[in-house]
Amino acid sequence: MTRPPLRIATCRPLPEPDVDEDLLLEALRGAGIDARMVAWQDTAAWAAPVPTLVRSTWDYIHALDEFDAWIDRAAAVAPLWNPPSVLRWSLRKRYLLELEARGVPVTPTVLLPRGDPRPLSAVAAERGWDDVVVKPEVGAASFETHRLRIDDPAADAVCARLVAARDVLVQPYLPSVEDHGERALVWIDGAFTHAVRKTPRFAGGVEQVSDALPISAAELATGTAALAGFGDEMLYARVDVAPGPDGVPVVMELELVEPSLFLLQSPAALERLVAGVVRRL
């Protein structure tokens, strides 16, 4: 059965390999969908009224205004998944503060606006933190993500360099990411499908992930709370969690724009994603 064509938004060159790409293309084409990867920066390619699945647009963090304009341009001619409102909400990680206000367990977070003169040591001392993670509010693939000890003489300088150029998040380092590990909970078309364990990753590092893992009841509760209120229009999500000091899983990131979905680890998740696309087409 022949179905309408589909564009899959990516970027070229990719900053790192996308292990989901070939699997997804093959599965979509196997379902009769003419699916093609198209770089979001390829202006001429987005005039045609073809639905778009946003996937590996990983360089948008360096051109946020242009990416924001692309969302409007793509959505003006055909459906965009995830939809614009969801994408925009997730572009800036200050969403953690909104989730916290809603009562969702999150990693404690301080937002330092660009140009904030406060030294990292003072910000951390106010919270009683001596081991922190500092990262851009808009980021992907651990870009400029640093673990800093407050007693390190260089810590203030690292944070000041980041804050001079962008809004920055400061969070306590969670030791649980080393033993239990950070868990990426994959959600597709209305249901969580699987999780993987990710090793801690900082600037310049390489991420390592496990095979598919079951999602615990506590992780499911946190993930469900994080996604509450988004509605049926969302196609995919990834909720990254780790146990907080009291053992309750806290949201580290809520990825709704271009997360790896670890489809290689779960054929059932790949099947569910394709079925969700088919239904929307």
Given this model, what pLDDT does residue 179 score?
Answer: 87
**Structure pTM?**
0.94
Given this model, what pLDDT does residue 201 score?
Answer: 66
Residue 131 CA to residue 124 CA, distance in Å, equals: 8
Of residues 201, 202, 195, the one with CA closest to residue 219: 195
Residue 146 CA to residue 253 CA, distance in Å, equals: 16
Q: Give yes or no for a contact between 64 and 138, defined as CB atoms under 8 angstroms apart.
A: yes
48: exposed, middle or buried (Cβ count in 10 Å: 0-12, 13-18, 19+): exposed
Side by side, which strands form the sheet with 80-81? 35-39, 6-10, 52-56, 80-81
- Which part of the chain has CATH 3.30.1490.20? 110-172
Given this model, what pLDDT does residue 26 score?
Answer: 97
Tokens representing 204 are: 């310049």
Given this model, what pLDDT does residue 147 score?
Answer: 95
Given this model, what pLDDT does residue 157 score?
Answer: 97
Given this model, what pLDDT does residue 203 score?
Answer: 58
Residue 276 CA to residue 15 CA, distance in Å, equals: 28
Residue 33 CA to residue 4 CA, distance in Å, equals: 6
Q: Does domain 110-172 have CATH number 3.40.50.880?
A: no
Given this model, what pLDDT does residue 223 score?
Answer: 98
- Which part of the chain has CATH 3.30.470.20? 176-262
- Which part of the chain has CATH 3.40.50.20? 6-90
Given this model, what pLDDT does residue 207 score?
Answer: 72
- Report residue 271: phi and psi, to 5°: -60, -40
CA 230, 84, 12, 7 torsion-angle sign? positive
**CATH classification (class only), 6-90:** alpha beta
Given this model, what pLDDT does residue 266 score?
Answer: 97
**CATH classification (class only), 176-262:** alpha beta
Query: Each residue's pLDDT tens digit in the chain (281 positions)?
Result: 668 899 999 999 999 899 999 999 999 999 999 999 999 999 888 999 999 999 999 999 999 999 999 999 999 999 999 999 999 999 999 999 999 999 999 999 999 999 999 999 999 999 999 999 999 999 887 889 999 999 999 999 999 999 999 999 999 999 999 889 899 999 999 999 999 999 876 655 667 889 999 999 999 999 999 999 897 889 999 999 999 999 999 999 999 999 999 999 999 999 999 999 999 99
Side by side, which strands form the sheet with 168-172? 110-112, 168-172, 131-136, 146-149
